[in-house]
Structure 1
Amino acid sequence: MTIEQLEMKHIAKSFESFQALQDVSFTVKKGEIHALLGANGAGKSTLMKILSGAYSEYTGTIYKNGHSVTLGSPKDAKNLGIAIVHQEVDVALVPSLTVAENIVLDRQTSKGSPAIVKWKQHDTEAKKALAMLGSTLNVKKNVSELTLAEKQQVLLARAILQDAEYIILDEPTAPLSQHETKRLFEVVTNLKKKGMGIIYISHRLQEVSDLCDVYTVLKDGKHVVTKAIVQSTMQEMITFMLGKQVAQESVREEVAVGTELLRVEKLSLPNVLQDITFHVKEGEVVGIAGLVGAGKTELCRSLFGLENKTAGQLSMRNHPLLVNRSPRYYIKNKLSLIPEERRKEGILVDESIVLNLSLPSLKDFTKWSFVQKRKQKEASQSVAANVGVKASSVEQKVKTLSGGNQQKVAIGKWLLKETDVYIFDEPTKGIDIGSKQEIFSIMNELTKQQKGILYATCEFDELVNMADRIYVMYNGKIVKELSKAEATYEQLFYYASGGTV
């Protein structure tokens, strides 16, 4: 009897001189949740892009139910029943189309689909697919109006409608609240019971332990181990991923706090933020804690001129700043933003590392309207080394980097610019433990230079270890301020969930 499974045997893939995968084998069975783990740059995304048909040039063989198959395009993968839900959900959706149109998009554009569009039938099918996820999302709503969590629901519903046999989930809980995460686990478990094979990529190892049956670890583009979850521990997983024992907690180095840098008073945004007041001092990490939807991202965007209709008062070193100005204005006044959606807003994925790192400071590398390439490259190489970007050279395209290395580029580009306050919005979302530690080290170095850091995240354990003070947001308001000595994970979650004194 043939076992129903997907097998990848001896897969290798390179980008010019960079060897992304080397002799990797991976198998997922139907009715199994198989976690794919590894530090950023381990090769997980590359392997899954091969399996989903995004990369057609590779060596090795892929088998379905014992028969070799050819994956030359995403269409080939879909025809074989393989679907992927990307971490960056926007790349797979058409924002100008409705929820229903996005859900039926693949089927509608496939060969043999009817020329006449039956809108009512599409709406009905989309509602049915969403109902299997426990979602009541309005199928007539434009995708551009959706939250990240809702966009993910659309992609899952699309996979269900395609009758996918195997689904790849890439950091699926990164944009989700705790309640939404719980619901996703229920959906994934039900899909498993129905015989779907699920490949689950996540850096949240507790989730992997709770949900998955088997895990495979990649490191430096090579297969390390495949093991049953029940036979392993989280610490062992970390050791396999990084090749060494690491402390799971971040360490915040003591730095003398100086004078006030940024002051925000009664900052408001219609229907989103209400009377936000806080301050950031030299050498200080100030946390903004909140669950998904609390308003953290909108606050960060407002401070950087990316939201319209903002009201309130801002000042930098006691000098008033205007609200509702362009990002250029705030950059000039020594504010920098590392946004939550790094691929969409933080980096130019189709450009080189050197261009991305030097872009905000391009004026400094220009003479008589000509870019001084050598100076630009040397400065970029220095920053790339300082933030720990792993690449063959700074000429490498950013899109070929892992998520963690892309995030380091998004941070590094501001290190060439004169900045007093760095705004970090969910800087560790979707990156591995090793890259997290490197980002925390960057924060420590910045505070030693008497820079101020505003650190907005729903990762409360990170804030407890890294922040000097923490403001908790709930429903667009700051509801509590806690010192480092006062803050615990439980307290942060209590106030972020709507608890009162």
Structure 2
Amino acid sequence: MTNELSMKNITKNFGSFQALNKVDFTVQKGEIHALLGANGAGKSTLMKILCGAYDEYEGKIYKDGGEISISSPKEAKSHGIGIVHQEVDVALIPSLSVAENIVLDVQASNKSKAFVNWKSIYKKAEEALSLLGSSLSVKKNVVDLTLSEKQQVLIARAIVQNVDYLILDEPTAPLSVEETKQLFSVMRELKKSGVGIIYISHRLQEVVDICDRLTVLKDGRYVATKETSHTSIENVITLMLGTSSVKQWVKKSVEVGNELLHVEALSLPGRLSNISFHVKEGEVVGIAGLVGAGKTELCRSLFGLEQYVSGSVRLKGKKLKLNKQPYYYIAQGLSLVPEERRKEGIFVHESIADNLVLPSLSRFTNYSFLKRGKIKEKAQKTTGQVGVKSHSIEQSVGTLSGGNQQKVAIGKWLVTDSDVLLFDEPTKGVDVGSKREIFDLITNLVSQQKGVVYATCEFEELLGVADRIYVMYNGKIVKELSKKEATSEKLFYYTAGGVKG
């Protein structure tokens, strides 16, 4: 009998789009096996099939030599397959204790007992945590835990469910260096006990450090499986990228002027360390980094959405106060297009017109009365500038496509006439056509001598749009690249930990 979990010829289509094309993947018991690939390679789709999130696919799955069927999360668990998602908070109930969260699924499925045996629950939870080498109190509420402790709870939950194979999806993305070391210690304990671990990560140095083997996917296809002891980060990057890809969009040349934004030694406890960079008039400055590198925290810190920020920020020579509310930074000429636009960038239930003028509302009021005529005029002009496609400016933003929602999120800062615009993953969930229009908008902004900070993990976009690129890793800027120096290979290398400190 073979002690392995194997996926053979897995194919998955979403309409006419083929996400996976005859992919093979095998993980052995007692092995830590990395699943790698650039964005859109098919990693998430493959793992969703394995954990039962997708029930329609072609191909076969085998466990210990025998074919198994997986068409639901419950069925995956019955075969000893568990997953710890990146968003740990979503999978936990904060008001319940560590023990309750650990045995949650087991207790819910145990319908034969009318009463809760707390002694048994605490014992089971303690045994699971002890296998991880954790001294976490089982009576502590989850709301009071750190991120790494929450991950321990989820892994302990998987142990209670008697998993043979555990999927860890970007587990170190939100963790500090010490928390990452703690997680690796837990993973090694699981490996010793015979659990097979599938490790999904963009941090290639970590993959080399902790994993036994790695498998690379590219564009929905299997590329190769390698032993980490016989490969290097450079080789992995070559496998992930294949032949050099062509830049699909290149920013038009714009004359660069005086310095607009100067950031020096910006720090946020546990998240950012000694960040320094500058942006000039007419310049797009890229911030490259993977999930958890600190890009979002940097943008939020500059816009007043994080507290306990230290350092120095100057805008057009004026020193800005730190840890103020966003309206202070808006008034100074700074704006943010956030990654989570539906949560933080727009009001989905309000009209296009109201969304566009909201940050500048004082300009459209007269003794507390709204100047509806001026609002309509400005909204119509701005929707034309940013190319919002809608039936009317009174249409609810929530009914627009992702690309048009993003245009509204950008358009409101055209109304405020900001000097520097911070873009955090601006093309997330946006179609190809809208991406091009967003790039054109950015070119238009810098042609007006605005400054743009473009933070993303989409490296091809940076190669096309940015004049200079700063690379972030673990909350620090580890490299600066000019437009001539920057390549996909270099960005992958540095963002994966090729340079530290």
1:91, distance to aligned residue in structure 2 (A): 3.1
Counterparts of 1:398-409 in structure 2, within 5 Å, are: none
- In structure 2, the partner of 1:174 is 173
Aligned to 1:464, the other structure's residue is in SS state strand
What do residues 385-436 of structure 1 show as CA deviations (whole Å, max 9, x unaligned)?
x9887987679xxxxxxxxxxxx99x989959969666778x54xxxxxx3x
- In structure 1, the partner of 2:394 is 369
- In structure 1, the partner of 2:474 is 458
Assess, with a 3 A threshold, how the Cα gap between structure 1 residues 167 and 131 changes in structure 2: closer, same or farther: same
The alignment's TM-score, normalised by the length of structure 2, stands at 0.65
Aligned to 1:153, the other structure's residue is in SS state helix
Distance 2:402 2:35 in 1: 40
Distance 2:230 2:264 in 1: 53
Counterparts of 1:59-458 in structure 2, within 5 Å, are: 59-112=58-111, 114-244=113-243, 259=258, 261-262=260-261, 280-282=278-280, 283=283, 300-307=299-306, 316-317=315-316, 318=318, 324-326=324-326, 330=330, 333-336=333-336, 338=338, 364=383, 365=388, 367-370=392-395, 427-428=456-457, 435=458, 437-438=459-460, 440-441=462-463, 444-445=466-467, 457-458=473-474
Of 216-225 and 38-47, deviating more is 216-225
Percent sequence identity over matched residues?
46
Q: Does the 8 A contact of 2:34 with 2:211 survive in 1?
A: yes
What do residues 201-241 of structure 1 show as CA deviations (whole Å, max 9, x unaligned)?
12222222232222222111111222333443333322221
Q: Does the 8 A contact of 1:12 with 1:58 survive in 2?
A: yes
Aligned to 1:7, the other structure's residue is in SS state strand
| Structure 1: gaps spanning 5 or more residues | 247-253, 396-407, 429-434, 448-452, 468-488, 494-501
Of 91-100 and 211-220, deviating more is 91-100
Distance 1:297 1:313 in 2: 18
The alignment's TM-score, normalised by the length of structure 1, stands at 0.65
- In structure 1, the partner of 2:36 is 37
Assess, with a 3 A threshold, how the Cα gap between structure 1 residues 312 and 50 changes in structure 2: closer, same or farther: closer
Amino acid at match of 2:330: Y
Q: Does the 8 A contact of 1:261 with 1:280 survive in 2?
A: yes
Q: Does the 8 A contact of 2:403 with 2:430 survive in 1?
A: no
Q: Does the 8 A contact of 2:338 with 2:426 survive in 1?
A: no
Of 214-223 and 84-93, deviating more is 84-93
Distance 2:308 2:214 in 1: 48
Amino acid at match of 1:228: E
Amino acid at match of 1:464: K
Aligned to 2:479, the other structure's residue is in SS state helix
1:162, distance to aligned residue in structure 2 (A): 1.8
Structure whose alpha-carbon radius of gyration is higher: 2
- In structure 2, the partner of 1:450 is none
What do residues 103-143 of structure 1 show as CA deviations (whole Å, max 9, x unaligned)?
22222222436332344543443344334333344444443
Aligned to 1:164, the other structure's residue is in SS state coil
Q: Does the 8 A contact of 1:424 with 1:456 survive in 2?
A: no
Distance 1:128 1:57 in 2: 37
Assess, with a 3 A threshold, how the Cα gap between structure 1 residues 344 and 132 changes in structure 2: closer, same or farther: farther
| Aligned length, in residue pairs | 418
Distance 1:234 1:312 in 2: 34
- In structure 2, the partner of 1:477 is none
Q: Does the 8 A contact of 2:284 with 2:453 survive in 1?
A: no
Q: Does the 8 A contact of 2:217 with 2:240 survive in 1?
A: yes
Q: Does the 8 A contact of 2:285 with 2:454 survive in 1?
A: no
Amino acid at match of 1:330: I
Aligned to 1:335, the other structure's residue is in SS state strand
Distance 2:73 2:402 in 1: 41
Distance 2:129 2:440 in 1: 40
Q: Does the 8 A contact of 2:303 with 2:334 survive in 1?
A: no
1:58, distance to aligned residue in structure 2 (A): 1.3
Assess, with a 3 A threshold, how the Cα gap between structure 1 residues 320 and 4 changes in structure 2: closer, same or farther: closer
1:3, distance to aligned residue in structure 2 (A): 0.8
Assess, with a 3 A threshold, how the Cα gap between structure 1 residues 174 and 21 changes in structure 2: closer, same or farther: same
Amino acid at match of 2:167: I
Aligned alpha-carbon RMSD (Å): 5.2
Amino acid at match of 1:55: Y
- In structure 1, the partner of 2:368 is none
- In structure 1, the partner of 2:16 is 17
Q: Does the 8 A contact of 2:284 with 2:465 survive in 1?
A: no
What do residues 10-40 of structure 1 show as CA deviations (whole Å, max 9, x unaligned)?
2111112211111112221212222211111
Distance 1:110 1:416 in 2: 56
What do residues 415-465 of structure 1 show as CA deviations (whole Å, max 9, x unaligned)?
59969666778x54xxxxxx3x335436724x6xxxxx99865265x5323
Q: Does the 8 A contact of 1:34 with 1:215 survive in 2?
A: yes
What do residues 278-302 of structure 1 show as CA deviations (whole Å, max 9, x unaligned)?
885424869999xx99x99767545
Amino acid at match of 2:40: G
| Structure 2: gaps spanning 5 or more residues | 246-252, 358-378, 411-424, 483-496
Distance 2:401 2:287 in 1: 39
What do residues 348-388 of structure 1 show as CA deviations (whole Å, max 9, x unaligned)?
9xx9xxx9xxx8899733644137979975996xx9xx988
Assess, with a 3 A threshold, how the Cα gap between structure 1 residues 244 and 285 changes in structure 2: closer, same or farther: same
Distance 2:157 2:218 in 1: 32
Distance 2:499 2:20 in 1: 43
- In structure 2, the partner of 1:485 is none
1:44, distance to aligned residue in structure 2 (A): 0.8
Assess, with a 3 A threshold, how the Cα gap between structure 1 residues 20 and 234 changes in structure 2: closer, same or farther: same
Amino acid at match of 2:89: D
Q: Does the 8 A contact of 2:312 with 2:319 survive in 1?
A: no
Assess, with a 3 A threshold, how the Cα gap between structure 1 residues 113 and 375 changes in structure 2: closer, same or farther: closer
Amino acid at match of 1:207: E
What do residues 223-263 of structure 1 show as CA deviations (whole Å, max 9, x unaligned)?
122233344333332222111369xxxxxxx9997545457
Q: Does the 8 A contact of 1:88 with 1:343 survive in 2?
A: no
What do residues 471-496 of structure 1 show as CA deviations (whole Å, max 9, x unaligned)?
xxxxxxxxxxxxxxxxxx99974xxx
Amino acid at match of 2:132: L
Assess, with a 3 A threshold, how the Cα gap between structure 1 residues 203 and 110 changes in structure 2: closer, same or farther: same
Of 87-96 and 234-243, deviating more is 87-96
Amino acid at match of 1:325: Q
1:333, distance to aligned residue in structure 2 (A): 3.9
Distance 2:218 2:271 in 1: 43
1:42, distance to aligned residue in structure 2 (A): 0.9
Q: Does the 8 A contact of 1:288 with 1:454 survive in 2?
A: yes
Distance 1:286 1:392 in 2: 21
